[in-house]
C-alpha cells in the first residue's frame, strides 16, 4: 500500500529540524482553512485535503517523534503507518478540531509501540517510558536558540533536563510547538485541560527555581 503518486516523501537526516514539504498549488487552497474543515474534507475523501495534511504535518511528526526515538527509519515507518491508517479509515474518522494535536497523539503512541516491540518489552507505564524514552533537550531547540547569553543557555539546558519526562514534554509542546492547554491535554492524553495546565505551571515554577539557583 502506498501514498498517492503526487505526494512527496520527506527526506530526513540526522538533524531533527526538518523543513516543511513544499505545497502544490492545489494544496494551497487549504492554507487559510480551519482544521475542522480540512479534516471534514479529508474524511469525505478529498485527496487534496489528504495531501495538504501530509505535506504540512509529516515533517512536524518526524521532529516530535525524534524526542522519543533517534532511529529515523522507525520514525519514517511510523509516519507512513499513520497516514496509511488514516486513508483506510476515511469516512469513519471522528471530528478533529486540532489536526496537529490529534496527529501528535497517535505519533507518540506509534513510536512507543514500535520501539517497545523492537526491545521486546511488555511494560507500558509512563515510569518505564521515562527510563527508556527520555525526552532529550538539545542545543538546537528554539528555547535555547532564542537566548544568546552563553551562561543563560547553560542554565536553561540544565534546568530543562532536571524536569521529569512528562514535564519536559509538556513544556516543549507549549514552547516549541505553540500548543494551547487543550491541545497539550489531547496529545498527552489527560482527562481534562486542568491537568495540562497543572503540569505546565509546576514545570515552569521548577524551571524558575532551578535557573535562579544554578551557579
**How many CA atoms does the CB half-sphere of 122 hold within 13 Å?**
0
What value does the mean pLDDT take over residues 24-38?
84
Contacts with 38 (C-beta within 8 Å, 6 or more apart), sequence order: 30, 49, 52, 53, 99
Which long-range contacts link 204-208 to residues 24+ away (Cβ below 8 Å)? 204/171, 206/159, 206/162, 206/163, 206/167, 207/156, 207/159, 207/160, 207/163, 207/171
User: What residue ranges define each of the domains in the chain, with the CATH number in brackets?
Assistant: 1-133 (no CATH), 135-215 (1.10.10.10)
Per-residue pLDDT for 95 more than 50?
A: yes
Instruction: Tell me what the mean pLDDT of segment 162-185 comes to.
Output: 90
Taken in order 37, 57, 104, 211, the sign of the CA dihedral is negative
Each residue of 142-164: pLDDT tens digit? 665 555 567 777 888 888 888 89
Reply yes or no on whether the pLDDT at 203 is more than 60.
yes
Q: What does the pLDDT read at residue 75? A: 92
The structure's pTM equals: 0.72
Cβ-Cβ contacts under 8 Å for 18 (sequence gap 6 or more): 10, 12, 59, 62, 63
Amino acid at each position: 500500500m502506498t501514498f498517492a503518486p503526487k505526494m512527496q516523501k520527506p527526506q530526513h537526516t540526522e538533524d531533527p529540524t526538518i523543513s516543511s514539504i513544499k505545497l502544490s498549488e492545489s494544496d494551497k487552497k487549504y492554507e487559510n482553512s480551519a482544521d475542522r474543515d480540512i479534516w471534514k474534507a479529508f474524511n469525505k475523501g478529498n485527496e487534496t485535503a489528504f495531501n495538504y495534511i501530509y505535506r504540512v504535518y509529516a515533517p512536524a511528526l518526524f521532529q516530535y517523534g525524534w524526542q522519543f526515538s533517534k532511529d529515523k527509519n522507525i520514525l519514517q515507518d511510523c509516519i507512513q503507518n499513520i497516514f496509511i491508517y488514516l486513508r483506510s479509515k476515511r469516512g469513519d474518522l471522528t471530528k478533529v478540531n486540532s489536526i496537529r494535536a490529534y496527529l501528535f497523539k497517535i505519533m507518540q503512541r506509534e513510536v512507543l509501540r514500535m520501539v517497545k516491540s523492537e526491545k521486546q518489552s511488555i511494560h507500558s507505564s509512563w515510569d518505564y517510558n521515562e527510563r527508556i524514552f527520555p525526552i532529550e533537550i538539545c542545543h538546537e531547540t528554539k528555547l535555547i536558540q532564542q537566548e544568546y547569553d552563553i551562561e543563560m543557555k547553560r542554565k536553561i539546558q540544565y534546568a530543562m533536563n532536571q524536569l521529569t519526562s512528562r514535564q519536559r514534554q509538556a513544556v516543549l509542546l507549549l514552547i516549541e510547538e505553540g500548543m494551547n492547554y487543550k491541545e497539550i491535554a489531547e496529545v498527552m492524553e489527560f482527562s481534562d485541560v486542568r491537568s495540562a495546565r497543572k503540569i505546565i505551571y509546576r514545570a515552569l515554577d521548577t524551571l524558575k527555581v532551578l535557573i535562579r539557583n544554578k551557579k
